[in-house]
Structure 1
């Protein structure tokens, strides 16, 4: 799918947004809170915005995932089955969104963005001294991971943050480990959703490729900063992004 009448200024704006989103997504998750509203504000229909968002965000999380695996922040054997579960959940969610009323998405998406921001704002910070996991590995693998994956297929913004929080609160992972694992799972969900959207013909390729370049730059920078920034500052990046983009979205 291609759209016309996208000016150079709009394309440049989306490129810059992708750089910032790739950087922040690698650090704290929630990059889709920037890119999805930006795509919709550019005039795209909801399904085209969702599909193109998956194309460009896949570049960012793929870059982050390669960096995490290469630097041994995560091990392939520890995440491969979780990635498969996330992939399946995301594919199902993306199939479901194809039959939804697209007009409803223009209402649902800002509600979801607001809910994510409020959730991160009011929930207590979970430190790295969480004593023990709250769910078993099988429940996490077969229920929690595909459920979050399904959400990513349906909407997407905040998925990386949800994976990170689930790893910390439900599996007692340290913050940085949970964040690193979340990148691999988010890559899997994005890839699954992207494949479905490509076959459905909703991707706007020109915009997606331009934003992929921005995502690559942002994710590369973020991967080098992730383990250098104090943990306490990362959580609140998501809250700031949520409410800033919600305000922009509602006033556009």
Structure 2
């Protein structure tokens, strides 16, 4: 009973954090590995995807009611993210990820440093005008992040938020909303692959999904209520945790 309460609480917190700025996997995955230390990793990762995709989709739906989403930008990014997430998941079975694992903490450190240095970064919503160049850039962003999520994964939501701010002129609130749409596509691709391979514990995943959705509703409500400053602070906090976690995994484990 205690294990189920732990996983339910972890799924709720993961949904809350992920709805604001991404990074729910930092909570959900370690909780599953702690409760089931002898279970096959693909089974636990697939179960986490089953839990997380519903929370991300629920957050996307809630944001769509409170934030004007820029669909000409999101549609090509989302389509590319879905396709390249499948390719990334296939590639990880043939290519080692060790180099990326060691590089990731430094990439995240650069993201945090840039955000801290630019005091107004992500505080003003001034989206770029739509055109062929923007469509191509959105497609490339979706492809790159989709492949990364399928191939490796940590920090996908945070990278999406950063890129939507940096490249497309969105503020943190709108970028967080946009990232949810793209992240649903990458999660769906991963879930399809895990499900096809029998690597999803469906009963547990459904139970955790309920709590994840509840958490995502709380998180998206907080983001919409408190606005850009709150999302920016959460972004920096999650990136800081990611730096510590990925640095430990790469160099100390």
Q: Which residue of 2 aligns with 1:236?
A: 236
Report Cα offsets for 1:35-58 as digits up to 9, x if no partner.
222223332333223222211110
Cα pair 1:88 1:149 within 8 Å, conserved: yes
Q: Which residue of 1 aligns with 2:216?
A: 219
Alpha carbons of 1:132 and 1:59: their partners in 2 closer, same or farther (altered >3 Å)? closer
Q: CA deviation at 1:239?
A: 3.3
Q: Which residue of 1 aligns with 2:29?
A: 36
Cα pair 1:113 1:242 within 8 Å, conserved: no
Q: Alignment partner for residue 62 of structure 2, among 62, 67, 70?
A: 67
Q: Alignment partner for residue 47 of structure 2, among 20, 44, 52?
A: 52
Alpha carbons of 1:10 and 1:120: their partners in 2 closer, same or farther (altered >3 Å)? farther
- Distance (whole Å) between structure 2 residues aligned to residue 12 and residue 188 of structure 1: 29
Give the 3-state SS of the residue equivalent to 1:123 in structure 2: helix
- Distance (whole Å) between structure 2 residues aligned to residue 132 and residue 118 of structure 1: 25
Q: Does 1:86 align with 2:77?
A: no
Alpha carbons of 1:75 and 1:201: their partners in 2 closer, same or farther (altered >3 Å)? same
Q: Which residue of 2 aligns with 1:124?
A: 115
Report Cα offsets for 1:114-163 as digits up to 9, x if no partner.
45653444333324359886x94134223221110111112322111111
Q: Does 1:15 align with 2:14?
A: no
- Distance (whole Å) between structure 1 residues aligned to residue 107 and residue 59 of structure 2: 23
Q: CA deviation at 1:237?
A: 2.6
TM-score of the aligned structures, taking structure 2 as reference length: 0.80
Which sits farther off after the overlay, 240-249 or 43-52? 240-249
Cα pair 1:11 1:210 within 8 Å, conserved: no
Alpha carbons of 1:84 and 1:92: their partners in 2 closer, same or farther (altered >3 Å)? same
- Distance (whole Å) between structure 2 residues aligned to residue 162 and residue 182 of structure 1: 9
Q: CA deviation at 1:82?
A: 1.9
- Distance (whole Å) between structure 1 residues aligned to residue 104 and residue 25 of structure 2: 10
Query: Aligned residue pairs: how many?
Result: 240
Consecutive unaligned residues in structure 1, runs of 5 or more: 1-7
Report Cα offsets for 1:3-31 as digits up to 9, x if no partner.
xxxxx322321211111111011112111
- Distance (whole Å) between structure 2 residues aligned to residue 68 and residue 233 of structure 1: 19
Cα pair 2:42 2:199 within 8 Å, conserved: yes
The Cα RMSD (Å) is 3.1
Alpha carbons of 1:174 and 1:60: their partners in 2 closer, same or farther (altered >3 Å)? same
Give the 3-state SS of the residue equivalent to 2:224 in structure 1: coil
Alpha carbons of 1:49 and 1:99: their partners in 2 closer, same or farther (altered >3 Å)? farther
TM-score of the aligned structures, taking structure 1 as reference length: 0.80
